[in-house]
Chains A and B, each alone.
Chain A
Amino acid sequence: MLSAILWTPLAFGLISLLAPRRFAPWVAGTGTLITLVLAAIVAIGFDSSQGLQYVVDVTWIPGLGINYSLGIDGISVFLVLLTALAWVPAVAFTASRGTDRAGLFYFMLLAGQTATLGAFLAQDLLLFVLFFDLMIVPFYFLFGIWGSDREGVTAGSATVKMIVFTLIGSLLMLVGAVAVGVIAADGGQLTFNMAELAEKGLPSGSQNWIFWFFAAAFLVKMPAFPLHGWMPDAYRAAPLPALAVFSAVLSKVGAYGFLKVVLPIMPDAVELFQTTMLIIALGSIIYGSVMAFTKIDLRLILGFSSVAQLGFITLGIFALDSTGANGALLQMINHGLVVVPAFLIVALIAERTGSEDIGPMGGLAKKAPVFAVIFLIVTMGTLAIPGSANFIGEFYILNGVFNTDVAIAIIASSGVALAAFYALRMYQRTMHNPLPEGSDSREISVRDGLMIVPIVLIMIVLAFCPQIILGDTRDSVDATVAVSKEAAQ
């Protein structure tokens, strides 16, 4: 079952590469819908009391000790569902606008989906690293070929910067992952199965340097404050549908990596470096929020907002507190759900006004009340207004951090306030005030609405019933956090 979810996107991507041009969007769309249905079936059938489910475990490279090992647990079940969900509007949007070299585009996009699903489903450490490294390759092509050049920065060079940054972290992680397996084996049977590695444990000294190798990879991916240098150029160059899934889902793999790999396997190091990581997370929150407030390019506002949000998520994870960690996982889903419509709305705004800079914009709400409402809900989600699921997530996170370090919690709370600043500024500048010359405010079409509204509806449902997620995730998250908390004692 999990293999079906994992390989369906790639299979349909290959078909759409080879199929005649007219059919490519339909093939791709079908692939994403089938993946979504399969993911939904798994999510609904998920039983939170049973730990790892739908396990697949096949020997793949016995010579190297790597197995093709998949599984789904409370941490990954909703992330998989989010991945399956997010790709559908991205494909639909591209299909409705048409694109150059469609077959190749859909192939790359769906290959990206398979790689991301693989990272979430893998239960073998080297398989995880393989999919993590694989994720960036299709997006390198997507951003580079279909992206747009900006002043001084070609799409090609922005995307090279992105892949170099990402792979620096990933290569260090690869060395670290091999080291984990070898050191844990300690002369015995070599295995990279994550559950077994967590049980075997590593000596503290090794844990410390391996921790930073993994942290490098995940921090670059999110991106977190000191390692975010690739983000502005890449976000400005990328084609918007691809950017939507990239920002919504791929960034979460970094946070997921911390929860799934670092906390269980390196608990001593986590405890040792907890404060450092909390400070890095705090840096992301403050820096991201301040930068989002000063930018006028819509993509950069959303990009820096993501930096801040991922900072919150990291904060929740490293609070090493059950409430905090559950809040972090909830926020991962929430942020993903908010980002996908947000970038598609940016695309719609660009179509109406001809640019993505909020400087000369305004008044788009005038003849488009439905569009304005949808955008308002998304904005409110971004700033985590009480009543949205994001508020609950952030509240849990801050609660968890408060239990650990009061000062950090207080500074982090200011990030919430800053979010209000940049989110409302973004909304007001685009939607209110008079309509300038050259802009055309029109209502959102039914076709576009169908792509965005379902996700917004899910956001609203989650706002009322976050238990849908929290119920299933609680056991797995608590188990993960408990390992590290034990080390702290």
Chain B
Amino acid sequence: MTFDAPTIDYAGLSPIITMTAGLVLLVLVAVFDGVKRTAPAIALLTLATTAGLLIWQWDADTPLLNGSLQIDGLAVVFSLLVVISAAAAVLLTIGDPSEHQAGRPDFLALLMASVLGMVMLTMASNLITFFIALELFSIPLYALCGTNLRKRESLEAGLKYLIIGSVGSATLLYGMALIYGASAATDFTGIASGLTEGGLISDSLTLVGVGMIAVGLAFKISIAPFHQWTPDVYQGAPTPVTAFMSAATKLAAFAVFIRFFLVALEPMAAEWDVILAALATISILVGNVGAIAQSSLKRMLGYSGVAQAGYMLAGIVVATQQGVDALTFYLAAYLAMNMAAFAAIVIHERQSGFSDSIESLRGIGRSNPLVAWPLTIAMLALAGLPPTAGFIGKLYLFQALVEADWTWLGVMIAIGTMISLVYYMRVVATIWMSPASDASLQVPSGEPGVDLDSPRRWYLVLPAILGSAAAIFFGIIPQPLVEFAQHAGNALAALIS
């Protein structure tokens, strides 16, 4: 009896192999005291190598490991964005108190594990790899949220995220079981053909399965009404972790959302698009209205993330290649704005002894330009004002929606943006248009974790400046980013009718 070993495409697998190697190296480094200080360098090196390998595989379009993974334009583009987000998080983590408590290499090892899961998730083309990759990126994140051991909120955030996230995963699993039952296949293209041939497209159990998978993913990307954990976890977790979570989880989850819904469930598009449109609308409204009442900056960004996820979900509703292009562009722009905003928040927090309230930003336009300018640009970009990439992103989404006859959803996005102006502009107004806060808000420098010199740390300033520069640059010269986004859409072109 012969054994047909599957062919292993090492070139295509190289990003995953590199991430795993980096992860293992970091775990080993944690054991030996002498080398602990090199951990961030190792992490950044791993991420840089992975990014390089992904760029090397730019034009790949091959199934890996017998069809369980697929490396193509979509995977490469989204993985690159995840890697950039992780690199920013590594930089922001240097000097963070939670990192000291949890141990720097362990922290970074967990981060690398999560990135590994995300990279796998962008490539997943089989239900099994979908589930494993999803869990691989989520479970380290639960732990990372809880790493600030001295703060009660951090541990609560970790446990809360774990419980709610696991409910999502279990729901996802059950939905997968139903889909598997309906189509007798676990790989995405097999599911598409299995559903059409089996004639079970309109069967109620299949629809329940699709719904449950959508719910499971909705938990991850914080789509309302499954977003309840978002404000609490964003506020409680250490800020570099929040920075990573807010952009990267959306990136990875949307990648698999695109691949699953537009490849595996493509025959059923007419059934699920209205449901997703409804979810998007609810997210837009709940997220924007919820953000208005917040006085904590991180909670506000959590609610605003819910609304932004609603805008992004509209790109999937249209089920066209242009929708995927628009969604990718918007996610890339969102990554830039997010990086700028959270880097500025980290600098501000370290300087002021961890006050997270919007009030503490009073008057820093004058006193602290390195925090004020990135935050302002990020707020303007999130609101979708020119000349930022946020404006072009919204424009791109509108175009995709109108072309596919979903204009009313475009109007919903416009309405959501109008509401969002209130809270984004309020942050800008507090920064620039209020007198500076009085000295009583300053924490004496004896307290641990306070770093009055934080605006001068290059590793904090670099993500802030890069993020703001990208947000403005791609608002003025968007074509490179448009082509980058279209590379992802092209990968699916053959599979979407």
User: Hey, which bits of chain A sit against chain B, CB under 8 A?
Assistant: 60-65, 101, 126, 130-131, 133-134, 137, 140-141, 144-145, 154-157, 159-160, 163-164, 167-168, 171-172, 174-175, 178-179, 181-183
A-B contact pairs, 11 of them (CB 8 A): A60-B479, A131-B386, A137-B385, A156-B430, A156-B434, A160-B421, A160-B425, A164-B421, A167-B421, A171-B384, A179-B402
Evaluate contact between B386 and A63: CB separation under 8 angstroms: no
Contact among A63, A155, A175 with B482 in the assembled complex (CB-CB below 8 Å): A63
- B residues near A163, Cβ cutoff 8 Å: 421, 425
User: Hey, which bits of chain B sit against chain A, CB under 8 A?
Assistant: 325, 365-366, 380, 384-387, 391-392, 394-396, 398-399, 402-403, 407, 410-411, 414-415, 417-418, 421-422, 425-426, 428-430, 432-434, 478-479, 482-483, 486
- B residues near A174, Cβ cutoff 8 Å: 394-395, 398, 414
Evaluate contact between B411 and A175: CB separation under 8 angstroms: yes
Name the residue of chain B whose CB is nearest to the CB of A101. B366
Evaluate contact between A171 and B479: CB separation under 8 angstroms: no
Name the residue of chain B whose CB is nearest to the CB of A137. B385
Evaluate contact between A159 and B429: CB separation under 8 angstroms: yes
Contact among B411, B425, B428, B478 with A61 in the assembled complex (CB-CB below 8 Å): B478
Evaluate contact between B433 and A155: CB separation under 8 angstroms: yes
- A residues near B478, Cβ cutoff 8 Å: 61, 63-64
Evaluate contact between A160 and B429: CB separation under 8 angstroms: yes
- B residues near A145, Cβ cutoff 8 Å: 365, 432-433
Evaluate contact between A182 and B396: CB separation under 8 angstroms: no
Evaluate contact between A182 and B402: CB separation under 8 angstroms: yes
- B residues near A156, Cβ cutoff 8 Å: 429-430, 433-434
- A residues near B411, Cβ cutoff 8 Å: 172, 175
By secondary structure, the B interface counts as helix
Q: How many angstroms between the C-alpha atoms of A62 and B403 in the bound complex? A: 16
Contact among B395, B414, B418 with A64 in the assembled complex (CB-CB below 8 Å): B395
- A residues near B426, Cβ cutoff 8 Å: 160
Name the residue of chain A whose CB is nearest to the CB of B434. A156
Q: How far is the CB of B203 from chain A (nearest CB, A)?
A: 35
Evaluate contact between A126 and B395: CB separation under 8 angstroms: yes
Evaluate contact between B399 and A160: CB separation under 8 angstroms: no
| A65, A130, A164, A171 interface centre (most CB from chain B within 10 Å) | A171
Evaluate contact between A63 and B402: CB separation under 8 angstroms: no
- A residues near B415, Cβ cutoff 8 Å: 171
- A residues near B394, Cβ cutoff 8 Å: 174
- B residues near A168, Cβ cutoff 8 Å: 418
Q: How many angstroms between the C-alpha atoms of A157 and B422 in the bound complex? A: 10
Q: How many angstroms between the C-alpha atoms of A145 and B431 in the bound complex? A: 10
Name the residue of chain B whose CB is nearest to the CB of A187. B403
Contact among A60, A101, A171 with B414 in the assembled complex (CB-CB below 8 Å): A171
- B residues near A159, Cβ cutoff 8 Å: 429, 433
Evaluate contact between A144 and B432: CB separation under 8 angstroms: yes
Q: How far is the CB of A280 from chain B (nearest CB, A)?
A: 22
Contact flag A160-B422 (CB < 8 Å), given A61-B478, A179-B407:
yes
Evaluate contact between B398 and A175: CB separation under 8 angstroms: yes
